[in-house]
Structure 1
Amino acid sequence: MKRKNELLKQINRLRMKMIEIGSNKGLNDSETISISQELDDLLFDYQQITLDK
């Protein structure tokens, strides 16, 4: 449960960072894309934890 809550916090922080950078630099900027990929990994991890129950 602790891992799930920590993942949710990380996902929300990263999502906000991606939105901010995407708004400032554009959606095709390499930093925005990099954060998006990192967010994808966290979402995948969260999904795996959720489905394993």
Structure 2
Amino acid sequence: MTCSLELLLLKLIDQTKKKMVELAYNTGINSQETIACSQELDVLLNLHMKVSAHKERTKLSSASCNIKI
């Protein structure tokens, strides 16, 4: 589940980056449209970081449970 969510987020991030570059080119870097798209990209990037961090924590937690003393 996390893997497919992560892949979906990466695809959305890539699409949003391309959209932002196009908006900046067509409407200017300081236009409302470009800024709104940049903020949308920020949300997606933050969400991706949270998903990745959760995935790492889960991986580490599983690994520590398998250690035998």
Matched, 1:26 2:25: no
Give the number of aligned pairs: 53
Q: Runs of 4 or more off by more than 6 Å in structure 1?
A: none
Q: Which deviations, in whole Å up to 9, do the C-alpha atoms of 1:13-46 show, x marking residues without a partner?
A: 0000000010111110000000000000000000
Q: Which has the higher contact order (CA 8 A, sep 6+)?
A: 1
Answer with 1 or 2: which has the greater Rg.
2
TM (normalized to structure 2)? 0.75
SS across alignment from 2:13: helix
How many angstroms does 1:51 deviate by? 1.2
TM (normalized to structure 1)? 0.96
Letter in 2 for 1:14: T
% identity of equivalent residues: 38
Return 5+ residue gaps in structure 1 as ranges: none
**Aligned ranges 1:1-53 → 2 under 5 Å:** 1-52=3-54, 53=56
Return 5+ residue gaps in structure 2 as ranges: 57-69
